[in-house]
Amino acid sequence: MKARQLLWIPFLLLLLSVTIPVLAAEGDPPTTDEAAEPATSPTPSYTEFLNAVRAKRVRSVIFTGQNIQGTYTNGGDFSLMGPPSDPQLPALLDTYNVQTSYRSETRGDYLNYLPLVIVIGLGIAFFLIARARSGAQQPAENLSRPSGRPSSTVRVIEPGKVPVTFADVAGHDEVKEDLFELVDFLKYPDKYKAMGARIPKGVLLFGPPGTGKTLLARAVAGEAHVPFIHFSASQFVEVYVGVGAARVRDLFAVARKHAPCIIFIDELDAVGRHRGSSMSGNDEREQTLNQLLVEMDGFEMSDGIIVMAATNRPDILDKALLRPGRFDRQITVDVPDLRGRKAILAVHARGKVFKENVNLDLVAQRTPGLTGADLANVLNEAALLAVRARLESIDMTVIDEAIDRVIAGGPAKHGRLITPAEKTRIAVHEAGHALAARFQPNPDPVHRVTIIPRGRAGGYTMTTPDEEQMLYTRSQLMNRLVMLLAGRAAEELLLGEASTGAQNDLERAYDLTRQMVSRFGMSPNIGPVGLPAEPGGFDRGYSEELAALVDREARKLLNDAAERARRLLEAHRAHLERVSQALIERETLDGKELDQILSQDLPASAAAPSVS
């Protein structure tokens, strides 16, 4: 029932609540005595009624509660309201031979309950209207929907309306080459069928957030000029049992009508997790996953339908999803390398005005680890900052500020009130990080050290590697641990005790040590083991003894790195004091300024030996 069809119910009930009492009161006589009327009046007063009885002009009366209805001897009828109590009346009527009868007061009982009935009816009516408007009946409609009828949640983007092509995607040349085969099949399927080749039914794109997985899927649809059906996996799962499976059937029914086409399911892990891994026993999610498995490789062939999906967590997906015949091809969309970042910056630089001294290659070198979305945000922030500063074009100054905003998580808080003691402590902390990065073997160049608060950080030290790496040795990871713990060690060395400012450093260091021990096999006491990061089900796959040993080894690595940081800073205490004082005075030091401070001559007593 539609909401507009239900609107008449409360109005009808309100009308009844007004009209019924009025109609019921129309036959009631007045309760006050009126002027003397003829004895045959249809509404006599109680006194006139008694006089008529004594004059033998009343033949019969009927009592209904306090109402009295009667008949005169001449055939006329009358009605009146009697007094609450008159013990003399029955005897008087009996004396003058008036026929007397009694009737139950049914109409009065009904009217007593009428307000309650009206209130309940109004509540039910408004509940039905609210339920219809909020779409609470949608699951039942989904279950009863005829097969093949489109679901309201399925969005089909027609060919030519996808404005994205491979030209708009940069930094993923190998991925585009892999996906171009899908485009070629959708355009020219006959040559593949003639060769006996079968195109992959499903393509899974996985990688960190912001790397361009959804953009790549849209680019495939834009290049192939086929319908693009976008669906989020979270739309499948509902609290109503069977709704998710019904929506999966609807999705593929719509896709078969638009074949050849592309189905893109975003955030697949919302429905594709390992079956049996949930302690809540959500049968609805597992039923939805089972229906998805059947649709992708069931008895019904889905020629011309390619299912693409994206996820950040491929390790938690059910194995049945990843077998051949379902998601045949799994493509990693990773964080771009230096060449990829240059290409991405070139794409997002279109339409922006830059000064001649802007070097996007240098920007790419300063942004290792940033995704395509981060790089787009960097250039957009730079453009906003240039407009705010009323510049005619974007220069390197605003680009550097934009990089700092994206990496550190917010603008610089120049107006934040910091006590001199806090400023000194932050300067010592960041100087410790900078010296650990500078004096360790094979160091990464320090790009900037600042004590200006930004985001949740009181200051930060930024290093820029000369070249990017995919693999790291144990010594390189230990150097990173030393740098993380050097800020806390510097506070203890110069100020006597550490502060809460090292919280994030400790969290990152502990996470790194656990990975070194449990996943990278870098603990001599445990050996080459690779424990699951997030085991599924109730069995995590290793014993309590091994878990305790992992904890002990992780703490040992942390203690060793903290001791190395302490010895390094003690050996370079004069440099630590000098850099800390420079940060207090200038607040920010770039790499060249730091090198100049460290290259100044020190007293002979302060000469620092090499610390490994």
Q: Which residues are designated catalytic?
A: 430
Contact present, 99 and 64 (Cβ < 8 Å): no
Residue 58 and residue 70 in contact, taking contact as beta carbons nearer than 8 Å:
yes
Q: What is the CA radius of gyration of the chain?
A: 42
| Cα angle: 358, vertex 452, 395; to 5 degrees | 10
> Strand pairing of 77-81 and 67-72?
antiparallel
CA dist., res. 149 & res. 153, Å (int): 12
User: 462, exposed or middle or buried, with CB in 10 Å at 0-12, 13-18, 19+?
Assistant: buried
SS3 223: helix
Measured between alpha carbons, how far is 549 from 555 in angstroms, rounded to an integer? 10
Measured between alpha carbons, how far is residue 213 from residues 331, 384, 602 in Å? Answer: 10, 26, 53
**Chain Cα centroid distance, residue 264:** 19
Cα–Cα distance list, 152 to 141, 144, 247, 250 (Å): 11, 14, 10, 10
Q: How many residues does the chain have?
A: 612
Query: Tokens 């300063």 — which residue?
Result: 366
* Start-end of H helices in 196-237: 213-224
Cα(first)–Cα(last) distance of the chain, in Å?
Answer: 78
Burial of 142: CB neighbours in 10 Å, binned 0-12, 13-18, 19+: buried
- Written as six digits, the tokens of 61 are 């009366």
Rounded Cα gap, residues 441 and 457, in angstroms: 27
Helix (H, G, I), strand (E, B) or coil at 534: coil
Are 104 and 65 spatial neighbours (Cβ–Cβ below 8 Å)? no
Q: CB–CB of 533/519 below 8 Å?
A: yes
Instruction: Decide: 361 and 197 in contact? Cβ < 8 Å.
Output: no
* Sheet containing strand 588-590, strands side by side: 460-463, 446-450, 588-590
CA-based nearest residue to 288, from 231, 207, 213:
231
Count of H helices and E strands in the chain?
Answer: 22, 13
